[in-house]
Amino acid sequence: MNPNMAIRLETHDADNRAIALPSVRAVAPHRHAVAVREAARPAVLRQRFKLGPLDFDYRAFPRQRVVALSSTDATVHIVMPITGTAVVVTEGKAQTLSAGSALLLGAITRTAVVCAAGSSALFLHIPRAAIQSAASRVLGSPRRLAAIDHLFGWSLDDLGAQLPRASVAAEPGQDDRVLEQRTLDGLVKRLREDAAADTLFPVARSVQRAVEHIRANPQHSWTINDLAPMVGVTPGTLRRNFRTCLGNTVTQLVQQIRIEWVRARLESVTESRSISDIALAAGFGAPGVMSRTYQRHFGETPSKTRARAFRAMRD
């Protein structure tokens, strides 16, 4: 991770009182008994930092504590024990978690997490839209996150995070954005391995039908008002579903589908049209607009893509 990632180290906590405890080295020799007691306790009892939309909340519990969580339409939580155990109580039902297991709290309800004395855990707070967007990207179709709780296997090794972390103050860099996407994609891939994956990530039907219409005719200047009656929902509902399931707007998706269509044509050795003609056929008003969008999206010019395709054919 970029060492300049913005991290906020908590200095107090209503539950745990002291947060940053002195290390053994910081205790004078004549206070050896105190040092021994403190050495048995974690140096950091709580630490929080954000990675894009992801909110990491690491906690260590010298005594048994109860943590209350509430999942909503906007935010879900993951409880991941690191050491010891945690008992999760939702609507009168209890289940015990230990290291190597995690619980996704997707149901819209209140949950109590009873953390055992001497345990530690990571509470990961994630916007529901961020998981849905990652699931749509990984699974290749628009997906929603069902309002259910789900137990699965996950650990810090899978997450790629080391907790607690040193405290620094800076703006997140490019490496942090890459790690953010890698964390979300890794979470979705792990959840996809479960037999309940289709139940957990159902297809967003209205968005899927809208995407199919756009792909069938990418050169058309699609709008929300065009698509909404075709897929059977209101414009407001479709706009919200696009944003929360795909993380972009209809206009952005149209541009993405157009540029992917152009790339497929340029990589085809049977395509004889010029780059300008392909750009116009895709619905771009001017070849220059397409070229700038193409280079920003793929990191190379259209002519380089076509040249590489012809070299591959000769080889």
Q: What's the confidence (pLDDT) of residue 262?
A: 94
Give CA separation, 275 vs 19, 126, 219, 288, in Å: 61, 42, 15, 10
Given this model, what pLDDT does residue 287 score? Answer: 84
d(CA 18, CA 11): 7
105 and 248 share one domain:
no
Question: What is the extent of the structural domain holding 64?
Answer: 46-162+175-199
Position 43 pLDDT exceeds 80:
no
In a domain, 34, yes or no: no
Is 8 domain-assigned? Answer: no
Task: Give Cβ neighbours of residue 123 (< 8 Å, ≥ 6 apart).
Answer: 57, 58, 59, 67, 69, 77, 78, 79, 80, 113
Query: Does residue 192 share a domain with residue 81?
Result: yes
55, 151: one domain: yes
Residue 182 inside a domain? The answer is yes
pLDDT given at position 215: 93
In the prediction, which pLDDT does 4 show? 37
Higher pLDDT: 80 or 192? It is 80
- Same domain for 233 and 215: yes
Average pLDDT over residues 132-143: 93
Do residues 212 and 280 share a domain?
yes
Residue 11 lies in a domain: no
Q: Does the structure show a pLDDT above 90 at 178?
A: no
Residue 13 has pLDDT above 80, yes or no: no
Is pLDDT at 127 greater than 60 in this prediction?
yes
The proportion of the chain whose per-residue pLDDT surpasses 90, expressed as a percent, equals 62
DSSP 76: E
Q: Do both 192 and 224 map to the same domain?
A: no
Q: What is the pLDDT of residue 173?
A: 54
Whether 229 is covered by a domain: the verdict is: yes
The reply to whether 57 and 191 lie within a common domain is yes
Give the gyration radius of the chain's Cα atoms.
25
Tokens read off for 114 = 């009873």
CATH of residue 303's domain is 1.10.10.60
Q: Are residues 91 and 221 in the same domain?
A: no
- Helical ranges in 128-249 per DSSP H: 128-139, 156-159, 174-192, 197-200, 205-216, 224-231, 235-246
Does position 122 have pLDDT exceeding 90, yes or no?
Answer: yes
86 and 115: one domain?
Answer: yes
Residue 249 confidence (pLDDT): 92
Domain assignment of residue 38, yes or no: no
Which helix or strand (DSSP H or E) is residue 80 part of?
A: strand 75-83
Are 187 and 271 in a shared domain?
no
The structural domain count of the chain equals 2
Answer yes or no: is 20 within a domain.
Answer: no
Q: Which CATH number covers residue 133? A: 2.60.120.810
Same-domain pairing of 55 and 187: yes
Do 190 and 218 belong to one domain? no
pLDDT digits (tens, 9 = 90+) for 47-64: 998 888 999 999 999 999
pLDDT in tens, 266-301: 999 888 899 999 999 999 988 889 999 999 999 999
On whether residue 9 sits in a domain, the answer given is no
Supply the pLDDT for residue 27.
Answer: 36
